[in-house]
Chains A and B, each alone.
Chain A
Amino acid sequence: MISGKKALWLYLLIAGILTCLVSPASVLAQEAKVDLSLRMLPDYYYKEVTPGEENTLFMEVRNNGNKGLYNIKFDSDSPKGWVVNFTPTSIDYLSAGSSETVDVKVIPSSGASRGEYNLTIIAEAIETRAATSTMLRIDSGPSFWLWVGVGVAALVVVGFVVIFLRFGKQ
């Protein structure tokens, strides 16, 4: 027969073992976390693009959550007249902790003048959405402002000559 004191210790031991086994299970049964992130791959912030031509950027789509994401679609907010295409156009399934690279093909409008332009990319899954933006720079192409400056300067020279001739008389 087991004495009462030993029975108590045995009971406490079994209870302790059960607690240790059951507790992690309750921890594991935490709430599902949904976290989608977008990141333009290095060197594509302030990327120089050419008007009228296809410029490819690379974007990493990462699922930082603990639950797979289905049907991730992409959209963009770009300057007027610009075309932005994604390859692949959507991601059917992105498992937890994994990432995928998407090609972002940007075609600036052929008449785009020199300057900096903001491109915002949005990824939308059923459960969540994420956005990122990047600066694109056009260095070439027709510069409207340069011609404005030249025009103003030419007017100033003409004005100087006229004043010189008109007021310079004795």
Chain B
Amino acid sequence: MIERVHEHLIGELGTNTRTDTIFVITAIILNLITLGINSGLASSREDSTQTIVMFTFVALIIVVNFVAEIGLIRGRLMRKKLLDGLLKMYKDQGVEGYYDRSLIGDYSLRYNLFMLTVLFTGLIAIIIPFIIR
């Protein structure tokens, strides 16, 4: 049974990693695409329709970035819980010495860096078109 639980935890960790990767990549790609579109709109002649389109894309950036941030925070918490469970299991089996606890802290730092990357690409995608305009 313990092997099944172990497999389940490992499976959950894999799913968690994939989901977080999707969040990060989607947010960054969307930010860069929107940066291009809004820069193009901003450099063209000032027009109310283009301004509305620009603000719609800005709203999209904000929503997607916030969703990505929430997703990454939840992902980080979920990973910590899964790793805590895994470590407890290793402790019960007397093999906890093979897993360094500091890895949990490294994961936490990595998640924060992902969030910062998403935040800053989002900020650039928002500000640059307004500077051009």
Q: Which residues of A contact B (CB under 8 A)?
A: 114-116, 143, 145-146, 148-150, 152-153, 156-157, 159-160, 163-164, 167-168, 170
Question: Is the CB–CB distance between A168 and B131 below 8 Å?
Answer: no
In the bound complex, CA of A150 to CA of B62 (Å)? 14
Tell me what chain A mostly uses at the interface: helix, strand, loop, or mixed: helix
Question: Is the CB–CB distance between A116 and B119 below 8 Å?
Answer: no
Please judge, given known A-B contacts A116-B45, A160-B119, A164-B73, whether A149 and B131 are in contact too, CB under 8 Å: yes
Task: Report if B115 contacts A (CB, 8 A).
Answer: yes
Question: Is the CB–CB distance between A167 and B70 below 8 Å?
Answer: yes
B58, chain A: closest CB distance, angstroms:
6
Give the total of B residues in contact with A, Cβ under 8 Å: 23
CB-CB under 8 A from A114, the residues of chain B are 133
Task: Report if B82 contacts A (CB, 8 A).
Answer: no
6 residue pairs, one from A and one from B, having the closest CB atoms: A149-B130, A145-B133, A167-B73, A149-B127, A145-B130, A153-B123
Question: Is the CB–CB distance between B74 and A167 below 8 Å?
Answer: yes
Please judge, given known A-B contacts A116-B45, A167-B70, whether A153 and B77 are in contact too, CB under 8 Å: no
